[in-house]
Amino acid sequence: MCTTCGCGQADLTLDGRPHVHDAPRPGRRRVSLEQNLLARNDALAAANRQRLAEQGILALNLVSSPGSGKTTLLEQTIRRLQGRVAVSVIEGDQQTSQDADRIRATGAPALQINTGKGCHLDAHMVGHALEHLAPAEGSVVMIENVGNLVCPAAFDLGEAAKVVILSVTEGEDKPLKYPDMFAASRLLLLNKVDLLPHLDFDVERCLGYARRIRPDLEVLRVSARTGEGLDAWIAWIEAARPVRAKG
């Protein structure tokens, strides 16, 4: 075995020359670091999930690109759930507390997490947020992730489900461009459907692309502006709540 690198080859070749060491493969260390990071995140996510399950809390991870109407939809969702179930919100953005301020105006408690240069929330951040918010047993926690259809797909936060929000103003090919997000999501909310008469957006083509990525993807067509589809969305949330919480 080579005493220099332990690679399994002899120190010298048959003609007496030192053997040539293989150059490090580009990206090898990066892959290892990513695997370690995701493993640690998954362990923390499992702890979050257990805590939420023990308290009968439904946590949903809302993911989308910027400008999908995620915050407006969340405001309307909270108003419709008032009197039925307590809702608290974890807000993720790179900067500002504007979205958290909007959520607090509905009466729901909200905690803003600013990720700086980070492009997603992780399980560690969410765990601390849960400690701070201390959501009530049987309640609903909405996690509004950083606007990004790439990074949040890889990070489990301990949520019951990812809900991807796609606006009809974005283009029907988004599921093909960002397949990991649609594969990771349980529900697609097709938002701003009130604008369809003014657009060339092909709904059936978009949904076909999405179900090509995940055949069992659930879909609801909604408009936070007009209220279309929101009753079905609220019913979906109620059905997703733990049985103990519903009782």
Q: In the chain, what are the domain boundaries?
A: 59-246
Tell me what pLDDT residue 30 has.
Answer: 60
Tell me what pLDDT residue 38 has.
Answer: 86
Distance from C-alpha of 65 to C-alpha of 152, rounded to nearest angstrom = 10
Q: Would you say domain 59-246 falls under CATH 3.40.50.300?
A: yes
Q: State the sign of the Cα–Cα–Cα–Cα dihedral 120, 146, 241, 212.
A: negative
Distances from the Cα of 24 to the Cαs of 30, 43, 68, in angstroms?
12, 30, 43
Tell me what pLDDT residue 20 has.
Answer: 47
Strands (E), 19-122: 58-64, 87-93, 110-114
Within 10 Å of residue 128's Cβ, how many Cβ atoms? 13
Distance from C-alpha of 17 to C-alpha of 142, rounded to nearest angstrom = 64
Distances from the Cα of 157 to the Cαs of 142, 149, 166, in angstroms?
12, 16, 21
Q: Are 123 and 157 in contact (CB under 8 A)?
A: yes
Helix axis angle for 230-240 and 70-81, nearest 10°, is 70
Distance from C-alpha of 100 to C-alpha of 1, rounded to nearest angstrom = 60
3-state DSSP assignment of residue 211: helix
Residue 190: its H or E element: strand 187-191
Tell me what pLDDT residue 163 has.
Answer: 98
3-state DSSP assignment of residue 38: helix
Q: Are 189 and 60 in contact (CB under 8 A)?
A: no
Write down the pTM of the prediction.
0.84
Burial 28-47 (b: 16+ CB within 10 A, else e): eeeeeeeeeeeeebeebbee
Tell me what pLDDT residue 223 has.
Answer: 98
Tokens of 2: 């080579």
pLDDT per residue of the chain (247 residues) written in tens, 0 to 9:
444 444 444 434 444 444 444 444 555 566 665 677 789 999 999 999 999 999 999 999 999 999 999 999 999 999 999 999 999 999 999 999 999 999 999 999 999 999 998 899 999 999 999 999 999 999 999 999 999 999 999 999 999 999 999 999 999 999 999 999 999 999 999 999 999 999 999 999 999 999 999 999 999 999 999 999 999 999 999 999 998 666 5
Tell me what pLDDT residue 125 has.
Answer: 97
Distances from the Cα of 205 to the Cαs of 167, 173, 174, 177, in angstroms?
14, 8, 11, 14
Tell me what pLDDT residue 14 has.
Answer: 41
